[in-house]
Amino acid sequence: MHLNDGRPAGFFLTLEGPEGSGKSTQARRLATRLADFGLRSTVTREPGGTALGEEVRKILLHAPELQPVPAADALLFNAARAQLAAEVIEPALARGEVVICDRFADSTLAYQGYGAGRSIESLRSIASFAVGDLRPDLTVLIDLPVEDGLRRKVDDGEITRFESHADVDFHRRVRAGFLELAAAEPDRFVVVDGSQQLERIEAEIIAAILNRLPGMVRVPAGTTSGSAEVSVPSESEPKPESLRMKG
Ligand code: TYD
């Protein structure tokens, strides 16, 4: 991510995955863990994250009687996305923060594209109209078998139109779509096994983030709760100008 004048800005992380993959829990935990590394973050979600977006969220997720067709879904998700990008994501990146976004444009490709059969190419154009060239620096796909995720959602409570009105085959297509997107962009995506323990998933995400941040040194496994290799800010190295430090 770069500012208009070419200076590097913050770091844009998106969390993606099928239903019940635990993204929201991870987003909250990550903010706390990043603060331990001296990194300031903004946590947000789609659809939502702005006053307009939260209104659109109610229409999209909790008003099945409106019967939006997949094309209307795609446009509404992108309307909320445009607002979120302009109001929250871009300003936070410009302040040098890590932005943690619970779902972003890949969800539209997976759900309205692979799941509901709309053209991937058209969906990419709509997203590009909505957010221009804003792209995640890193997308973590928390992958999970469809049945396991849907079971978790039923246990958890908030059942949306996409869970109650779509069949298991729809969610299988969504999951396969996410995996296809990840395979097509291996530099941007990291796929994490969502059936692992929370702490292990968190360690893998932190490692993926820190390995991509500039001005960090790599340290061996065993310094965090997971065994993945992670990086921590070096005392001797200058901290990255692009990332605002806490305190
Ligand atoms: P939410 O309760 O936030 O679910 P989750 O915790 O799984 O993220 O509901 C978001 C729902 O909206 C989820 O079923 C995925 C769907 N969705 C789309 O269909 N297209 C999109 O572009 C986005 C962002 C979400």
- Name the residue of 156, 162, 168 whose CB sits within 8 Å of the most ligand 1 atoms, as the mutation to test its pocket: 162
Structure tokens at 194: 């969502």
* pLDDT averaged over every residue in the chain: 85
Atom of ligand 1 nearest to the CA of 17: 7
The answer, yes or no, to whether any atom of ligand 1 lies below 6 A from the CB of 111, is yes
Q: Quote the pLDDT of residue 9.
A: 74
The answer, yes or no, to whether any atom of ligand 1 lies below 6 A from the CB of 108, is yes
Asked if 102 and 13 touch (Cβ cutoff 8 Å), the reply is: no
Output the furthest CA–CA distance in the chain (Å, rounded). Answer: 60
**Residue 152 maps to a domain:** yes
**Residue 246 maps to a domain:** no
**Residue 197 maps to a domain:** yes
Q: What is the CATH number of the domain that holds 93?
A: 3.40.50.300
The answer, yes or no, to whether any atom of ligand 1 lies below 6 A from the CB of 158, is yes
Asked if 15 and 102 touch (Cβ cutoff 8 Å), the reply is: yes
**Residue 241 maps to a domain:** no
**Residue 4 maps to a domain:** no
Domain that holds residue 24: 11-234
**Residue 245 maps to a domain:** no
- Name the residue of 15, 160, 167 whose CB sits within 8 Å of the most ligand 1 atoms, as the mutation to test its pocket: 160
The answer, yes or no, to whether any atom of ligand 1 lies below 6 A from the CB of 61, is yes
**Residue 72 maps to a domain:** yes
Residue nearest to atom 21 of ligand 1 (CA): 108
Residue nearest to atom 11 of ligand 1 (CA): 162
Secondary structure element (H or E) that encloses residue 124, with its range: helix 120-131
For residue 67, is pLDDT > 80?
Answer: yes
Atom of ligand 1 nearest to the CA of 77: 22
Burial track 82-120 (b if 16+ CB lie within 10 A, e otherwise): bbbbebbbbebbeebbbbbbbbbbbbbbbbbbbbbebeb
Atom of ligand 1 nearest to the CA of 46: 24
pLDDT tens-place string over residues 74-130: 999 999 999 999 999 999 999 999 999 999 999 999 999 999 999 999 999 999 999
Q: Give Cβ neighbours of residue 156 (< 8 Å, ≥ 6 apart).
A: 20
pLDDT tens-place string over residues 192-241: 999 999 999 999 999 999 899 864 433 333 334 333 333 334 333 333 44
Q: Quote the pLDDT of residue 109.
A: 98
Asked if 189 and 109 touch (Cβ cutoff 8 Å), the reply is: no
Asked if 98 and 209 touch (Cβ cutoff 8 Å), the reply is: yes
**Residue 224 maps to a domain:** yes
Query: What's the total number of domains in the chain?
Result: 1
Percent of the chain with pLDDT over 90: 70
46 CA from centroid of ligand 1 (Å): 7
Amino acid at 128: S
